[in-house]
């Protein structure tokens, strides 16, 4: 039965680390005196017992001695899985209460179920992206989204290595490499890829190819983010009152964009780009997933545009297509 929470102390959620949720939750709860020293010691003792049990399963009972490095990796995995269960609670305080009242073995088993559900959802998302994948000669695109992610699913073992990623995820997404581990990393990475791919497939692959050849004919062998060039080209065309469908900015268009962005503040630049996102959405060229994604990545886009203005390299981000 769940005990009443001690309302005299409140956790500072800013000190909780999503990547190391269990450890940061225990530390913050102890600092706030929601967990006593005895309770922390009991949790630590139960973790050691759980680790011992997991090692027994992993070694099939053939070894009682755990190598130090292996023990550290397995403990990291245990804490990750328990964190998946704790994140289901409606508040950090409720999660702490679960640590007080629930057996760690139960939290671990619940975390494994969460991991299995997340893996199944990630498999469905990866298949959805792969079934409608943008056609591009860029070797990093398909090899990562199809082969790399498939390799993750083949190697992933939440029972013992839940925090491991196993793949390099070479294709860079505009939002940057997710600050996460294990299946949480793959889920976040796939959501970025889904938003980017869903936008790019609205355009002809030949038009995207010519656009990127405007950067370099060798773009197929470079780990670059295709989406940023495509979305900036579409935005640029909207801003110069031309149809964005062919991604065919001209040199004169780029000059007009330089004038348009000249001496704009960061806020004004983001506002201008945000308006074009709404226009692309209204004309049916931008899926809702991409619009939400740009809400997160708009700061990066605006930074890149401003930096290009400063360095006189606008033609390197607002590309003029080349055959």
Q: What is the pLDDT of residue 237?
A: 98
Half-sphere exposure (Cβ direction) of 156: Cα atoms closer than 13 Å: 25
SS3 labels along 10-38 = CCCHHHCCHHHHHHHHHHHHHHCCCCCHH
In a domain, 270, yes or no: yes
Asked if residue 6 has pLDDT above 60, the reply is no
**Dist. CA 5–CA 24, nearest whole Å:** 19
pLDDT digits (tens, 9 = 90+) for 70-94: 899 999 999 999 999 999 999 999 9
Domain that holds residue 244: 202-323
Count of domains forming the chain: 2
Residues 318 and 214 in one domain: yes
Q: Is 3 exposed, middle or buried (0-12, 13-18, 19+ CB in 10 A)?
A: exposed
Asked if residue 64 has pLDDT above 80, the reply is no
Write the CB contacts of 234 (distance below 8 Å, at least 6 apart in sequence).
203, 244, 247, 276, 280, 285
Asked if residue 59 has pLDDT above 90, the reply is no
Q: What is the pLDDT of residue 66?
A: 78
Residues 208 and 318 in one domain: yes
Asked if residue 170 has pLDDT above 60, the reply is yes
Residues 98 and 213 in one domain: no
Residues 319 and 214 in one domain: yes
Q: What is the average per-residue pLDDT within 19-33?
A: 96
At residue 81's C-alpha, the angle toward residues 84 and 167, to 5°, is 100
Q: What is the pLDDT of residue 2?
A: 41
Asked if residue 167 has pLDDT above 70, the reply is yes
pTM of the shown model: 0.93
Asked if residue 4 has pLDDT above 50, the reply is no
Contact 304, 228 (CB under 8 A): yes
Asked if residue 312 has pLDDT above 70, the reply is yes
pLDDT digits (tens, 9 = 90+) for 27-39: 999 999 999 999 9
Residue-averaged pLDDT of the chain: 94
In a domain, 257, yes or no: yes
Q: What is the average per-residue pLDDT within 309-316?
A: 96
**Which domain-ending residue is among 110, 127, 162?**
110
Q: What is the average per-residue pLDDT within 158-174?
A: 95
**Which domain-ending residue is among 110, 128, 144?**
110
Asked if residue 61 has pLDDT above 90, the reply is no
To 10 degrees, what angle do helices 251-261 and 288-311 make?
90
Q: What is the pLDDT of residue 234?
A: 98
Number of H helices, E strands in the chain: 14, 0
Q: pLDDT exceeding 70 applies to what percent of the chain?
A: 97
Asked if residue 5 has pLDDT above 70, the reply is no
In a domain, 178, yes or no: no
pLDDT digits (tens, 9 = 90+) for 88-129: 999 999 999 999 999 999 999 999 999 999 999 999 999 999
**Dist. CA 110–CA 102, nearest whole Å:** 11
Calculate the alpha carbon distances from 42 to 31, 35, 75, 81, 276 in Å.
16, 10, 16, 19, 56
Contact 315, 251 (CB under 8 A): yes
Q: What is the pLDDT of residue 7?
A: 43
Residues 101 and 209 in one domain: no
Q: What is the pLDDT of residue 9?
A: 59
Contact 182, 80 (CB under 8 A): yes
Q: What is the pLDDT of residue 62?
A: 72
In a domain, 154, yes or no: no
The candidate with the shortest Cα–Cα distance to 248, out of 278, 210, 281, is 210
In a domain, 271, yes or no: yes
Half-sphere exposure (Cβ direction) of 264: Cα atoms closer than 13 Å: 21
Q: What is the pLDDT of residue 114?
A: 98
In a domain, 269, yes or no: yes
In a domain, 264, yes or no: yes
In a domain, 216, yes or no: yes
**Which domain-ending residue is among 110, 133, 150?**
110
Residues 321 and 211 in one domain: yes
């Amino acid at each position: 039965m769940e005990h009443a929470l001690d309302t005299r102390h409140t956790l500072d959620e800013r000190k909780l680390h999503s990547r190391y949720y269990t450890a940061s939750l225990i530390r913050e709860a102890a600092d706030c005196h929601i967990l006593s020293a005895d309770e922390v010691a009991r949790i630590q003792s139960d973790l050691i017992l759980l680790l011992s049990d997991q090692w027994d399963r992993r070694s099939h009972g053939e070894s009682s001695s755990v190598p130090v490095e292996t023990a550290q990796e397995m403990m990291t995995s245990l804490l990750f899985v328990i964190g998946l269960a704790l994140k289901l609670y409606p508040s950090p305080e409720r999660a702490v209460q679960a640590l007080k009242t629930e057996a760690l073995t139960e939290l671990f088993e619940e975390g494994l179920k969460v991991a299995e559900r997340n893996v199944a959802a990630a498999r469905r998302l990866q298949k959805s992206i792969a079934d409608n994948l943008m056609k591009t000669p860029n070797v990093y695109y398909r090899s990562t989204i199809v082969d790399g992610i498939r390799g993750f699913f083949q190697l992933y073992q939440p029972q013992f290595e839940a925090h491991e990623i196993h793949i390099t995820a070479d294709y860079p997404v505009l939002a940057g490499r997710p600050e996460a581990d294990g299946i949480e990393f793959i889920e976040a990475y796939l959501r970025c890829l889904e938003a980017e791919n869903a936008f790019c497939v609205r355009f002809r692959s030949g038009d995207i190819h010519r656009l990127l050849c405007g950067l370099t004919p060798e773009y197929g062998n470079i780990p670059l983010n295709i989406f940023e060039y495509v979305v900036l080209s579409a935005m640029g065309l909207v801003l110069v009152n031309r149809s964005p469908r062919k991604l065919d900015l001209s040199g004169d268009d780029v000059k007009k964009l330089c004038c348009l962005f000249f001496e704009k503040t960061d806020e004004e630049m983001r506002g201008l780009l945000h308006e074009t996102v709404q226009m692309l959405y209204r004309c049916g060229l931008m899926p809702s997933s991409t619009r939400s994604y740009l809400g997160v990545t708009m700061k990066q886009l605006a930074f890149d545009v401003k930096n290009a203005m400063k360095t006189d390299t606008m033609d390197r981000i607002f590309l003029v297509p080349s055959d």
